[in-house]
């Protein structure tokens, strides 16, 4: 008898709240038999997961991983080979620093059907929620999105910090709160104007969203004083001048109210 094979869905939940889920994401989640999730989609999305499905927490909390990446992929493949519809649920977009590419490769290697459901990335949506466009004819005709997990001072960095500092575009950093002081110092060291505006937006598009604004010179001290914690999106460049603290959040989903 031919073995029944299920399907894996790599689903991006967007930057926060059910209002930022795509229609396809909602359909796939509601039809799932197994959902492997982490904390990044946020409480509103996680509380909407179907309770009839097998819900498996595979998140990272601080420096503690609930499951290693290999274990996550093994679970995906195992459940799919049992003939189940498996959702790997991620915050933002599954291919934006979400290891979705690795999971896609694994599914292909194992002959498991896989569908990628793109999500709205926080790299663009979160700055927009406070009135910051990542590109603007006055300030930036390019935008570079990087991960802030990597220490800029290590010898063999995967990021060309010197090029980045001298580029004239917007820099958006995800997962960079821990290394923010070093990042700011490195950009100044390689020639970025010290008074370049910086915005740090915590828990973007969620009810408890908060912003800290400064420059490359001041942002580390301000972030420490404010007790900034991840998840947060860091925006560096002239476009930050578009930020207005009292601006109505027109892109915030109606279901989410500002406290």
Catalytic residues: 38, 60, 175
225 contact partners, CB below 8 Å, separation of at least 6: none
SS3 assignment, position 48: coil
HSE at residue 171, side-chain half, CA atoms within 13 A, is: 28
Identify which of 88, 86, 89, 76 has the alpha carbon closest to the alpha carbon of residue 33: 86
Identify which of 189, 163, 183 has the alpha carbon closest to the alpha carbon of residue 236: 183
Question: Helix 180-189 crosses helix 219-226 at what angle (to 10 degrees)?
Answer: 170
Q: What are phi and psi of 115, to 5 degrees?
A: -125, 130
Measured distance CA(169)–CA(172) in Å, rounded: 10
Copy the structure tokens of residue 194. 């010290």
Copy the structure tokens of residue 40. 């990044």
Residue 225 exposed, middle or buried by CB count within 10 Å (0-12, 13-18, 19+): exposed
Copy the structure tokens of residue 241. 């001048």
DSSP 109-156: HTT--EEEE----HHHHHHHHTT--S-BTTTBS-EEEEES-S-TTSTT
């Amino acid at each position: 008898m031919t073995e029944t094979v299920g399907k894996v869905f790599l689903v991006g939940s967007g930057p926060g709240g059910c209002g930022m889920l795509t229609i396809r994401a909602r359909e796939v989640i509601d039809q799932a038999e197994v959902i492997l999730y982490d904390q990044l989609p946020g409480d509103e999305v996680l509380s909407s997961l179907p309770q009839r499905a097998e819900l498996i927490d595979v998140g990272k909390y601080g420096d503690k991983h609930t499951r290693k990446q290999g274990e996550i992929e093994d679970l995906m493949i195992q459940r799919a080979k049992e003939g189940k519809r498996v959702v790997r649920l991620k915050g933002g977009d599954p291919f934006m620093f979400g290891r979705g590419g690795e999971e896609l490769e694994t599914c292909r290697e194992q002959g498991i059907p896989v569908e990628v459901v793109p999500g709205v990335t926080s790299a663009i949506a979160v700055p927009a929620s406070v009135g910051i466009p990542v590109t603007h004819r006055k300030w930036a005709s390019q935008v570079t999105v990087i991960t802030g997990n990597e220490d800029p001072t290590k010898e063999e960095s995967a990021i060309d910090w010197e090029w980045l500092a001298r580029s004239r575009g917007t820099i958006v950093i995800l997962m960079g709160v821990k290394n923010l002081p070093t990042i700011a110092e490195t950009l100044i060291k390689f020639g970025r104007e010290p008074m370049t505006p910086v915005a740090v937006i915590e828990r973007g598009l969620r009810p408890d969203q908060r912003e800290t604004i400064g420059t490359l010179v001041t942002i580390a001290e301000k972030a420490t004083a404010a007790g900034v914690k991840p998840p947060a999106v860091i925006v560096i460049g002239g476009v930050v001048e578009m930020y207005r603290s009292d601006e109505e959040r027109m892109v915030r989903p109606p279901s989410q109210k500002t406290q």
